[in-house]
Amino acid sequence: MNGHRMVCRLKLHEGAIVAAFSLLYLCCIAAPTSFGDDAEAARIRARVKAVPMNEKVKLTNDQWRRILTPAQFFVMREAGTEPPFKNEYWNNHEKGIYLCAACGNELFSSNTKFESGTGWPSFYQPLAKDKIVILADNTGGMKRQEVRCARCGSHLGHVFNDGPPPTHLRYCLNSVSLKLKATKGSVGVVDSEGIQPGLWRCQRAHRPILKIITV
Ligand code: FE
C-alpha cells in the first residue's frame, strides 16, 4: 500500500510539474517581445546562414530573441517545455530530417522517430553522436539529462533510458525546437487504424536516466 501511495505521489508530482511548465509556456509565449521580421532580424538570420555547418553558431540572447518566435525562445534559450499533445510534430509521420529550428543543424531522422505516447516527438537516436550534447539537469526536483543542439547550444528536450530497441533510449524533444525538412512526396505511413507501423509505447514514462548517455 505504501508503495502504491508513493507511486501516486510521484505521478501527481510529475503531473504538477508538466502543468506548471505548460502554464509558464503559455505566459511566456503570450508576453510581448521584440520579435519581429525587421531589418536587424534579417541581418542576424543572414549571419547565421553564412556560418559553415561544421562551425558553431554564437549569438547573444537579444539576438536570439529577435530571430526566434516567443515560444522558440522560451524553449530553446530558456530551457522551457511546450505542452504535450499540443505541438506540431508529436503525431507527425512524414519522412525526412528534423533540423534545429534555431540554426538548421541536421539532428534526427524520421526513421528513428517512434510513438512514445508522451505527446512529444520522440526518437531513439540522433543522426550522429556529435549532432547533440548531453548535460545533467537537476531542475524541477528531477534528475534528467538535457539534450542540446551541438552547433548553437539550443535546448531541444531530454533523453531517458526507457526507449525502444536498438538503443533503448528515448529522446523526448520539443516540436518548437525542430523544423522538419520533409522528403519530397512524403505523406507519412500509417496503417488502417491510423497507427504508425512499429508502434511502441513508453512503459516507464519520465523515468529519470541514471548515467551519461553515449550513442
Ligand atoms: Fe542549433
- Cell numbers given for 131: 549532432
Secondary structure class of 101 (helix, strand, coil) = coil
Q: What is the mean pLDDT of residues 144-148?
A: 98
Domain assignments of the chain as residue spans, ordered by start:
2-213
Is the pLDDT at 140 greater than 60? The verdict is yes
Q: What pLDDT sits at residue 33? A: 46
Q: What is the DSSP letter of 177?
A: G
Bond into 166 cis (ω within 30) = yes
Cβ(165)–Cβ(159) below 8 Å: no
Q: What pLDDT sits at residue 185? A: 74
Contacts of 198 (CB under 8 A, 6+ apart): 114
> Which pLDDT tens digit goes with each residue over 45-79?
999 999 999 999 999 999 999 999 999 999 999 99
How many of the other CB atoms lie within 10 Å of CB of 156?
Answer: 29
Q: Where are the alpha helices (DSSP H) in 31-156?
A: 39-50, 61-67, 70-72
Ramachandran quadrant class, 141 (left: phi over 0; alpha: psi -120 to 50; beta: rest): left
What average pLDDT is seen over the chain? 82
Query: Residue 196's pLDDT band (boundaries 50, 70, 90)?
Result: very low
Query: Residue 9's pLDDT band (boundaries 50, 70, 90)?
Result: low
Q: State in Å: Cα 52 to ligand 1 middle.
A: 12
CA distance 170 to 162: 6
Q: What is the mean pLDDT of residues 151-172?
A: 98
Q: State in Å: Cα 148 to ligand 1 middle.
A: 8
Q: State in Å: Cα 29 to ligand 1 middle.
A: 20
Q: What is the mean pLDDT of residues 183-193?
A: 58
Q: State in Å: Cα 41 to ligand 1 middle.
A: 17
Selecting among 103, 149, 172, 202, the annotated active-site residue is 172
- Cell numbers given for 40: 536587424
Residue carrying the nine cell digits 561544421: 54
Q: What pLDDT sits at residue 13? A: 55
Residue scoring higher pLDDT (196 or 152): 152
Q: What is the mean pLDDT of residues 121-139?
A: 97
Sheet with 96-100, side-by-side order of all strands: 106-109, 96-100, 178-182
Is 172 an active-site residue? yes
Give the amino acid at 7: V
Q: State in Å: Cα 183 to ligand 1 middle.
A: 21
Cβ(110)–Cβ(97) below 8 Å: yes
Q: How far is CA 37 from CA 42, 67, 101, in A?
A: 7, 8, 16
- pTM value is 0.76
How many of the other CB atoms lie within 10 Å of CB of 202?
Answer: 19
Is the pLDDT at 17 greater than 80? The verdict is no
Q: State in Å: Cα 95 to ligand 1 middle.
A: 20
CATH for the stretch 2-213:
2.170.150.20
Query: Residue 184's pLDDT band (boundaries 50, 70, 90)?
Result: confident
